[in-house]
Structure formats: structure tokens, C-alpha cells
Structure 1
């Protein structure tokens, strides 16, 4: 497919924003059908599935923001003139075709799809069966927006495949696919990685940690942990594990208050053996649970005796997403932040900010826990590869 001009891409995005607004009620009603059909077995998935007026507002905002951003394609990154006069220029370039495989979230059909489209890529979308009606409704609007701007509908394609058909496509694609982005739980990511024959950006696994340092402001720690755990349990940037330094001056009182506060918010509190005497807790039975991402009203609290051991434990068990240190000691915070191996590291703030919009990227395709080619939130400016342009006048080597 021939590249689309930035003017054409922006027109499609702005048209799409208008169509989403016009079809707001129908999108929500269609989503209600998906919600009614869903069996409710997974609380996090059900929360991600729901589309309400706030979600529609966010979709429209995302499309309009994308339309106003600079073109990420064709940006010069390197310029060199050889002694013999050859000019060598490196510019950003579109990947080509991006396949987004996702669970539950109809908003991905717009937000991630929009970022991929603005970056000059053809989009293949493969959503979960639980959100099929919502996704097909939104894809019909993409097609209408493309047609109204005299652009082929092939730029946005929905793959209505079951699991075995998806596996077959991953192993032997019937069309060229340059990059795959799975958005969902660990089982989905493992499935895609096991069968894909082209590059995959691993996205979405959280299992984030908060370390309450011995010099922590405990009121601040309570506020941050409660927000990071309960404000959106279905998000990959939610917190699942808390490590409390045994040298914290008010260790007993703080730990009791934290457990009580979480219990009041209906969070199941699991503790290691050092904290088993605290009320309203369950004692940890298997160390492997430290590896788990919960996506539920569940948290583990443990005791740690040093900064070094906190760093070691986080690097062993975390998902490579986000980690926090709560401390007044800036030197200790910097040591922690430099040593912890996660995409985002925090001092005295909630992990819930690990998000493309919150980081000033204007939205995100995904949050990558890989180190290639981009780590953390993948925004518009990251969803490009590069290309070398060499200009000569007959030079030979």
C-alpha cells in the first residue's frame, strides 16, 4: 500500500472523532450487549470491557490529540557527509503492518489503533470474543472515516478469528505482518510469543512493587499504596506487592494501619510469616506467589531488612513494569531507582502514572516490559523504525 500523507491521516483521525461522538449512544448500547453476554468470571476483564460516557470521551480526546501531533514519520535522526561527497541521512519510517491482539478493551480499537495509523501503519486488529460486538461497531466507524476521506478500508482490518485460526495466522500469516503487539494477560502474551513468526513487543504484565523505606513518610505511604492498589485493579500499573523496612521507626503501627486501610477497601491482604500475627490477613503459603500479577483486590505485604535486599527481591520477582520507593532520603531513592530493573521507577508517587497520557506522550500503543526497541509506554514517536537515505553522484568504493 502506498504511504498516506500526514494531512490524509489527520483528516481520517478527525473524522473518526466526529463519528464516535455521533455514534456515542450506539457504541454504549452495543457494549451493553457484550457486558450482558459476559459471564463475569474475571473482575478485571469485566472492568476493562465496559464502555461508558467517560470512556467514549477518552476515545474522542485520544483521536483529536493524535490528529494535532507532529508526524512521527520522516523525522531526520542522523546526517553525515562523507569525504567523497555522499550524503547519508537516517529518518524515521513506518513499520508497515502492525497486528494488535488484545483482550476485553474496546477502547484499544481506537486508541492503540489510532496511534498505529497515525504512525503510517496498516492496522490488523484481533480483539477478544468477549468484546466482539463493541469492536465490530468501532471498526465500522474506522471504515466509514476512511471512506469519507477516499482512503482504502484495507488500512484498518479486523480479524474475526477463533483461537485456532489466530494460532494459524501467527504461524503462517496470509499477509505481511511487521510487528505484533499483544495487549492482555500473561496467557495471551505467552500464546503470541509461542506462535508468532515476526517481532513481538511484550506488553501489559505488571506485578508492581512498593518499598516503604526506613525513612518513609508513612502518611504519604498509606495514600500512595491505597491509590496504586485500589483506583483501578484491572490496570497493569496497579500495585500487587509491598515491602516494609523492618527499621521503620513506627513499623508495627504503620503496618497495622496499612492492613486495616486495605481491609476497609475490601482488599485481601496476604502477609509473609514475619507479619502472620496481624489481624485480617492470610499467611503466605507459597513463595511463587511473589511472581504473580493479581488484577484483583489482593495484595502481598512482606518485611525487608535493607535497601539492598529490597532491590534484590524486586528484581527477582517483579514483572519489569514499575517500582516505587517511599522515602525522604533522596540519596537512598536515587540508589534504588538506578538499581531496580523496571521500565519506570518512582520516588513517593503512585505506579498508576505509568501511562502514555500521564507521561506526556498523548496516549500509548502499549506499555512494553521488553528492552527492545522501546521500554515502558510506547507513544506515537516510538512506533516507528528507521531508514537510511544515501545521496550520491556516481561515487564508487
Structure 2
């Protein structure tokens, strides 16, 4: 395992210089060619995805996880379009900023540069393979992509297709390295290679994040779970609150920006909860509520929420519901149980809205909008590596600019110290 990990990392590291020196026009051409290859080889990708889907059903994966895993001609076209959008983004590499002239005449500035070699670890979403590769190419980085066993066949097929574009342009194919081994043993060896790999980006469940945190000798940007909340304030417009809650929970429950907990102010709970819970149940949502929620809903289908529910990312049609006595109680609940991903308040009260946005410690905090918008494309950034739930060096959707570092460039005319 140690030797295999070293070979993967060495090849990827050796490829990074060629990418770092590509100009913006060549990178754009390369990424467009990657998109063309995806569409041209969609039958091959779908054939490998069918194997993953069959094995996933056999393994008993939930509907939400199977939805994440599934590819179709339409989804492959969406992947290709995402690459085109990445290609058309402004190229951050080489950007100069923070100009300064010192008293001694030295001229200083910062220049954006690639990070180097990025190891991206993800689970059952094969579309991450092309998005991550495109973003790394755009930012001048080589990448090592390691997906979970659920998507291994799909990811390998996508990786080989993308490598053809590199080969056509006489670039090292190892600039996009897809690991064909999903074992934790190989991953543990990769995480030791701090002299070869410059950054690790894990995105997935708690177990994966904890494993990487415990074993990595390489700097990490975590893309942790999305335990997102909707808080319906006492000053909320009831139709808006219903619409936002239904969208945040039901539209696509298996993604990290879907709502997992609904908090409702006690002064509005009796007016909104019975009908809202009925609407959610009609959409197939299982409700796990506090005692007040159960009393107000008057629906025997509502089960009693356990302590563990407030800390659970369901990624499914399940919603925890709690009635809270105040705005501050809602904020305290979110800061205690949330994952610092995305939270929303529904309210017409300006001060409550501003206080919620200031006091809630999360990457994205909404007023009167669904948490489902936390996404690089929705934010106008193009595709993203994932949603960073930590504070260094980026937070929220991690786009192409976040895959760069900086260096000082200094011009003089003979100064000595």
C-alpha cells in the first residue's frame, strides 16, 4: 500500500508543473475538450455507472444515496456543461493584487498561484470527479481523486475519459489521477505524503472526515456534513415559511444543503405546524417532533424525537421539528447542534433577521430563502469542490479561486539591506 500510494502521489506531483505554466487560453481549451470527451463517451460512463447502481441496490443503499450515485445522459450533459462553465470563469492564476511601494523604493504585490497537488476524497457522487478535475485544472493544480467504493466504477470511467483530453493536448495524464482503490489502508498512506501532496479536501460523512482528520499530515479543508436548520420566527409570513420549508426538505433530501431540523417560535407554532406537518407528511416526510410539536400536529404519524435526532444528518425524507420559546433559543440550538453549513430564518422582523445572521456560526446564513441555494453554481461561482464548513482558508462553496495560494513578488532597482 505504501508503495502504491507513493507512486500515485509522485506522478501527480510531477504533473503539476506543466499545469501551473499553462496560460488561460490553453486551460480553457483543455477543459472544453474534457467536456466534449464526457459527452462522446457517455455510453461507456453509463455502462460503468450501471454496475455501481446494481451493487448499490444489492448493498441496500437508501433512495437518497442511490439518487446521488445515478448517472443518466441528462446528468452527463449537466457535468459537461459544468465543465464549460468552469472553462469560462476568470482565470485566477497570475492575478496581481495588494500593490504597495515601500519607502526604500521596493514595489510589492501578491500574485495568485496554484496550490500544487490536491487530494480530493469524496463518496458516492460520481459527478464530483469531473467538477473537481475541472476546477483543479482551471486553477493550475494537479489532482488525486479518491471516491468511495459505491462510485468506484463510475469515477474510474470518468477519469479515463478526462485523461484523453490531457493526452490529446500533450499534457501529462497524471494531472488527473483517479485512485482505483477505495480502501482505507491506501488512503491512510496517501495522507502521510505531505512532501508530495499540498492539500487534502475531504467531503463526506462524519466517519470519513474524522478518519482524515486523525491521520492526515497534510493541511485539510473539511467539507463536513450538512445539518441545516430552518427557523420560523414569530414574525414570519406563513405561506413563505411553508414554501421555504418544503423546498429545503423535499426538493432533494439527499444533499448536504437540505434541511434536517425545523425550529418554530412558540407564538406562531399553533398557526403553522398542523398544516405544514400535514403537507410534509403528504410529501412522504417522516416527522420526529418534540412533545409540543406532537400535540399541535394532532397527527399520530408524528413520532417522538430523541436526543440523537437533533444531531443527525438524515439525507432522507426525515425532519426533526422543535418548538422554541425565543429567537435566542433557536440560535442556541443551531450553534449547539448544527454543522456550520447553512441555516435560514423566515421573518419580516429586520432586527431579528440581522441578529440571526450575526449570531449564527455557519458558512451560509439566509433570511427568507431556502438553504438549498448553498452551491457554487447558485452563488454564481461556477462548480465547486464542495462546501467548506471550517474557517481556514475558505468557508462555504469552495470554488476555483479558493484552490489558489499567493506569493509576494518584489521588484527593485538595486536595494540592499
TM-score range, shorter chain: over 0.9
Aligned Cα root-mean-square deviation (Å): 1.4
Q: Is 1:176 aligned to residue 196 of structure 2?
A: yes
Match of 2:37 among 19, 26, 33: 19
Q: State the SS of the aligned residue for 1:266.
A: coil
Q: Which has the higher helix share?
A: 2
The answer to which of 100-109 and 161-170 deviates more is 161-170
Distance of 1:34 and 1:27 partners within structure 2:
11
CA deviation string 1:176-209 (max 9, x = no partner): 1111111211111111111111111111411111
1:189-228 to structure 2, matched below 5 A, reads 189-228=209-248
Tell me if structure 2 keeps the 8 A contact 1:364–1:379.
Answer: yes
Q: Is 1:29 aligned to residue 50 of structure 2?
A: no
Q: Which runs of 4+ in 1 moved over 6 A?
A: none
Distance of 2:63 and 2:214 partners within structure 1:
27
Give TM-score scaled by structure 1 length. 0.96
Q: State the SS of the aligned residue for 1:360.
A: coil
Tell me if structure 2 keeps the 8 A contact 1:40–1:46.
Answer: no
Alpha-carbon shift at residue 172 of structure 1 (Å): 4.2
Match of 2:270 among 236, 252, 257: 252
For these two proteins, the number of residue pairs brought into alignment is 393
Q: Is 1:281 aligned to residue 299 of structure 2?
A: no
Tell me if structure 1 keeps the 8 A contact 2:266–2:324.
Answer: yes
Q: Is 1:307 aligned to residue 327 of structure 2?
A: yes
Structure 2: give runs of 5+ residues left out of the alignment: 1-16
1:1-397 to structure 2, matched below 5 A, reads 1-2=17-18, 3=20, 4-38=22-56, 39-161=59-181, 162-172=183-193, 176-248=196-268, 251-277=269-295, 278-279=298-299, 280-285=301-306, 287-397=307-417
Tell me if structure 1 keeps the 8 A contact 2:224–2:339.
Answer: no
CA deviation string 1:98-151 (max 9, x = no partner): 001110111011012211111000010111111111111111111110011111
Tell me if structure 2 keeps the 8 A contact 1:9–1:117.
Answer: yes
Alpha-carbon shift at residue 53 of structure 1 (Å): 2.3
Distance of 1:188 and 1:42 partners within structure 2:
18
Tell me if structure 1 keeps the 8 A contact 2:193–2:218.
Answer: no
Distance of 1:45 and 1:284 partners within structure 2:
23
- The residue number in structure 1 matching 2:4 is none
CA deviation string 1:239-276 (max 9, x = no partner): 0111110112xx32411111111111111100112223
Distance of 2:225 and 2:119 partners within structure 1:
19
Q: State the SS of the aligned residue for 1:241.
A: strand
Distance of 1:32 and 1:306 partners within structure 2:
49
Distance of 1:230 and 1:204 partners within structure 2:
21
Q: State the SS of the aligned residue for 2:136.
A: helix
Alpha-carbon shift at residue 366 of structure 1 (Å): 1.0
Distance of 2:261 and 2:55 partners within structure 1:
33
CA deviation string 1:32-82 (max 9, x = no partner): 111012223333322211111231121111111111111111111211111
Distance of 2:380 and 2:319 partners within structure 1:
29
Tell me if structure 1 keeps the 8 A contact 2:38–2:162.
Answer: no
Q: State the SS of the aligned residue for 2:323.
A: strand
Tell me if structure 2 keeps the 8 A contact 1:243–1:310.
Answer: yes
Give TM-score scaled by structure 2 length. 0.91
